[in-house]
Amino acid sequence: MTAVAVAGVTGSLLWLFLTWSGRPDAPVRIDAVKTAFGVGAGAGGAFALWLATRRQRTLELQLAETTVDLAERRVTELYTKSVEQLGSDKAPVRLGGLYALERLGQDNPKQRQTIVNVLCSYLRMPFKSPETGLRGRTGAELGEDTDPELLVRLAAQDLLKTHLSHDEPGFWPGMSVDLQRAVLVDFRLSGCTLAAADFSRARFVGAVHVRGSRFTRRAGFYGAEFTDIANFDRSVFDEGAFFSYAHFARDATFTRIRSGGVFQFSRTAFDAGADFAGGEHEELDLPDALRNKPADAGHEGV
């Protein structure tokens, strides 16, 4: 193709030069031929260089697309294998699946929300929880009769805590959690920052610590059950939170919290006490039994 183009350009130039010269003598014709062939060769070289550059660019784009495809395929394969491990009937294999997902999310930021969704989905699966929390017990105290599934679920909770903690090097910003109806044991979320958070109708077994955390979107604890102490001290709820119909079996601490939206506790039951001292709320909707008490003092049980 290049040769044809060069021949065409050279022939055209030769005809033009011979026509424009208007002189039949040999020297002029020879000069015209030389000039035509020189220009044609230059044009051919330029055209060949353009073709080579274009071909190289095409190859580079194809190579880049192939590399991306291979990387995405590898991520998909690792993700699929890890999720399959979570379905194993062996606790160690399920643990391996959790940590494989964590490594995948650490290396691939685009996959992080998906991995958080998987962890939350796992924690939402049916589970017969212990009557009390396990914090403070040694390995010997846990005993060999401890449900292996409980240990896997505690590991999943710890992974969420690690990657939602804004002071940790492995912090994953902008994550949302959906733990509706989940059974959560010794749940800790202190020092974390997350976006949407829904714990509606979740059951919290053991102490709950959500101290100094920030919810950038409205947080939901509608109908949640807290079987032990619940500490939300110094937490920030940018768009408010609703605890309507929640049940606190023991002391609930909401001291020094800040809320940029409605902080709702309509029909919430506090069996032991609720403390809202030092908080800043745009609108605090408390149960009737607490509404007429000063916000800067601890509240006795309803």
Least confident residue range of 16-20, 196-200, 211-215: 16-20
Q: What DSSP element (H or E) covers 280?
A: strand 280-285
The pLDDT value recorded for residue 237 is 96
The pLDDT value recorded for residue 103 is 94
Mean pLDDT is highest, among 31-35, 118-122, 133-137, for 118-122
Residue 302 reports pLDDT greater than 50: no
- Which sign does the torsion angle of CA 41, 47, 52, 53 carry? positive
Joined tokens for residue 251? 């002391």
The pLDDT value recorded for residue 223 is 97
CB half-sphere exposure, 222, CA atoms < 13 A: 9
pLDDT in tens, 126-183: 998 887 777 655 444 555 557 899 999 999 999 999 999 999 899 999 999 999 999 9
- What's the chain's average pLDDT? 82
Give the C-alpha separation, 295 to 279, whole Å: 8
pLDDT in tens, 240-261: 999 999 999 999 999 999 999 8
| 3 state SS of 78 | helix
- Domain positions in the chain are 2-65, 147-300
Per-residue confidence at 56, pLDDT binned at 50, 70, 90? confident
